[in-house]
Amino acid sequence: MKIDIYYDKECPFCNKYAQILNLRKEHDVSINNARDDLEKLRYFYSYGYDINYGIIVQIDDKIYQGSDAILAIDNLSENTSFFYKTKIFQNFLYPALKIIRKIVLFILGKNSTIKFEE
Q: The domain that contains 28 carries what CATH number?
A: 3.40.30
Is the residue at 32 inside a domain?
A: yes
Is the residue at 112 inside a domain?
A: no
Helices 12-20 and 94-107: crossing angle, nearest 10°? Answer: 120
Domain extent for 43: 2-107
Average pLDDT over residues 46-75: 93
Arithmetic mean of pLDDT over the chain: 85
What is the Cα–Cα distance from 17 to 116, expressed in whole angstroms? 23
Q: What proportions of the chain, in percent to the nearest 5, are helix, strand and coil?
A: 55, 15, 30
Is the residue at 43 inside a domain?
A: yes
Assign residue 60 a region (left: φ > 0; alpha: ψ between -120 and 50; beta: otherwise). left
Q: What confidence tier does 15 reach under pLDDT thresholds 50, 70, 90?
A: low
What are the strands of the beta sheet with 62-65, ordered from one edge? 28-33, 2-7, 56-59, 62-65
Is the residue at 117 inside a domain?
A: no
Is the residue at 118 inside a domain?
A: no
| pTM: predicted TM-score of the whole model, two decimal places | 0.76
What is the Cα–Cα distance from 116 to 83, expressed in whole angstroms? 32
Domain count of the fold of the chain: 1
The confidence score (pLDDT) of residue 39 equals 94
> Is pLDDT at 87 greater than 80 in this prediction?
yes
Q: Please state, for a pLDDT cut of 90, what percent of the chain lies above it.
A: 39
> Is pLDDT at 116 greater than 70 in this prediction?
yes
In sequence order, which residues have a C-beta less than 8 Å from that of residue 85 and are 6 or more positions away?
Answer: 71
